[in-house]
Structure formats: structure tokens, C-alpha cells
Amino acid sequence: MRYLILGCGPAGVAAAKAIRGKDPNAGIVIATEERDPPYSRPLLTELIAGRVGRAAISEPQAADLSELGIDVRLGMRASKLDTAGNRVVFSDGTGSAYDVLLVATGGKPGIPPALRIGHPSVLPFDSLEDTLKILERVPPRGTVAVCGPGFLAIVTSSALRKRGNGVVWFRSDKPRHGYPIGGELEANILDSVRNTGVRILDGHDIAELREVAGGLEAVPTVGGPPVRCDAVVIANERSPSTGFLAGSGVETGAGILVDDRLRTNVPNIYAAGDCAELFDWGSGHSRINFGLRSAIKQGRLAGENMAGAEKLYARETSDYFWILFGPALLDRIK
């Protein structure tokens, strides 16, 4: 049996190890567009803050993949899925056949139109490669405009302040995915962010970015004076990476639609983690459950089901909400 996993994040790693546990002789390939060996994404802000070094962010759960006979292929971005031929084509023109496929490609942050200018100091924040560019291009004491509505913008703003940067957070709108915070919890979190020295422009996005002498000038969407800054860090929520599925027949909504076994409408294709969209019986509609804990849980269950199990995924609000927005977040801000 040939298993192909797209993505080497927590869902992909958990799935590969679950498959190996049930099928000791299977061929398992993980293909990831990342050029770096697996790392812990939640620690990227700690790297920005200077609290850990690069070696500390290696993903411990992935340390034994080679020993388990799991083939990890870096720099492989899926560009097309041929469901009839059970084959994935990659951006370099190569391909990989499979008997069972898991899509665990995660997501990418959206870039607002005003920031699509190709300036070297406009920096998306999502990967280790992005993190290293931020550390290289953002002056240690410079001012940074952070753009984004939710969790990632909060921890990014906090990390930059710990690094010594001045931070202006353009807090545009509520997150589209997951559970937007509100009420007393939201107030407490925002107060904690302000107490670190972050200036919050609530309800603002960046309408225009101008290059001026000595830096950049960000114009808020809802009036007010432009904000002078040395760099802009885009910390938007991640949207599922599903573009390569166009024309494949795999059904998508906001993410890849899966049933309670994490199987898509194509019987030998599964999806897990930040790219998967599940029906939420509590709310009565489908949603994407972002977060490390749910990604691991989904990946493990998907891997077991790919190898012959028929387990059902039990979604828990705590997998996302309290892990991200509870006391742990307040601790990370301080």
C-alpha cells in the first residue's frame, strides 16, 4: 500500500506515524513545500522575541520519521491532483502516485490588496522562512505595523515588542475562521496587549502604503494620520491551501469538505488540520477548526482510518478556543 501525505505539519506527522503503527510495511511519503525540516510553528513568535534559538524550534514529533521508514521530501509544492490516476503533480513537474492520499497542506495568510506591492519590508508571517526574513529585515528598534484581526496578530505584536520594536497593530475585523473573541475575555486580552506598549488601531486596515524617506507610511482605512514605520508584518489568519484541487473533483467550501471520518467525497482521499472543513453539530454548519491540538488529533485519526480503521472524529470546542484564547494566551503576551 502506498500512502502519500501532503504537508509535514502536526497533522501530516501525526497521520504518518499512525499509519506506520497500523501498517508496518507500507510505503509512506510526506511531501511538503517547506524547504526546512519539520519545525514547531507555535514557537516562531518565540524565535522573533529572542526567547529561543533556531535549534529549539525543531519538531520533536518528527525526529524519528526516518527511523520509521517514512520518506520526507522537502520543497515539493502540489500543483495538480489527478484523482482518476491517483497521482499528485508537483510544481517542478514531477509526480507521485498513491493508493491513499491525505491532504494536510494547512493554510496561508491572505495579503490585503494595498500591501501587494512587492516591497522588501512588507513581510508575510507564516513560516520559518518568513520568520528569518522578519529578523533580517526589521530593524531591532524600528517601528512595525502589524496587520491582522486575531490570534496570530496578537502573538506577533507581543513578540515584536519583546524584541524591542515599536508596534502599531492595525486590528481590522473579526477572524472569519474559528471562534472570534468577545466580551470580557476580548477586553482583557486587548488590555494585556496595550500594556506591553502596542498601539492598537481598532477597526482599521491599511488602505495605502507609501514609501517615504527613511521608511514607510501606512494610511489607515478609517481616517486618522498615516503611521510611519520601518516594516509591515502581515499576520492575517490563514486560509486553507486548496488551490491545487481545482478541477480534481474533490469538494471544497472554505476548506476541504470531509465527513466525520475525515474522508472527502473521493473515497481514498482524506484531509486533516487547518485545510479541512468539518460539519459542526453544535452550530449547525461547517467550519474549519484551526489550532495545533485539533490538527494533531485529526491527523492521527485520519491516519488510522487511511490504514483501515473506521473511527469517528469528535470535535471539541476546547481543541481550538480555550487553548488559543484562554489563560495561555495571556501568559504569552506578558
- The share of the chain scoring above pLDDT 70, in percent, equals 90
Higher-confidence residue of 287 and 247: namely: 247
- Looking at 191-297, which runs of residues are DSSP E strands? 199-202, 206-212, 215-220, 227-229, 231-234, 238-240, 256-257, 269-271, 276-280, 285-288
pLDDT at 332: 62
pLDDT at 271: 99
Domain containing residue 199: CATH number? 3.50.50.60
Domain co-membership, 116 together with 230: yes
pLDDT at 35: 94
The whole domain housing 247 covers: 2-106+241-323
pLDDT at 299: 98
Summarize pLDDT for 95-137 with one digit per residue, the tens: 999 999 999 999 988 898 899 988 999 999 999 999 999 999 9
Task: Quote the CA–CA distance of 234 and 211 in Å, as a whole number.
Answer: 17
Where is 300: in which H helix or E strand?
Answer: helix 292-306
Task: Quote the CA–CA distance of 211 and 218 in Å, as a whole number.
Answer: 9
Nearest to 271 by CA among 317, 238, 240: 240
Please tell me the least confidently modeled range out of 126-135, 162-171, 205-214: 205-214
Domain co-membership, 222 together with 234: yes
How many domains does the chain contain in total? Answer: 2
Structural domain contains residue 330: no
Domain co-membership, 187 together with 115: yes
Structural domain contains residue 332: no
Confidence class for position 224, pLDDT limits 50, 70, 90: confident
Cα 203 vs. chain centroid, distance in angstroms? Answer: 23
Domain co-membership, 179 together with 99: no
Residue that has been written with the C-alpha cell 477586553 in this structure? 187
Domain co-membership, 150 together with 176: yes
Tell me: pLDDT of 230 over 90: yes
pLDDT at 208: 93
Structural domain contains residue 122: yes
Domain co-membership, 298 together with 316: yes
Task: Quote the CA–CA distance of 311 and 192 in Å, as a whole number.
Answer: 41
Summarize pLDDT for 139-153 with one digit per residue, the tens: 999 999 999 988 889
Confidence class for position 333, pLDDT limits 50, 70, 90: low
Task: Quote the CA–CA distance of 331 and 308 in Å, as a whole number.
Answer: 41
Higher-confidence residue of 218 and 181: namely: 218
Please tell me the least confidently modeled range out of 231-245, 275-289, 297-311, 317-331: 317-331
pLDDT at 320: 54
Tell me: pLDDT of 323 over 70: no
Please tell me the least confidently modeled range out of 11-20, 298-307, 324-333: 324-333
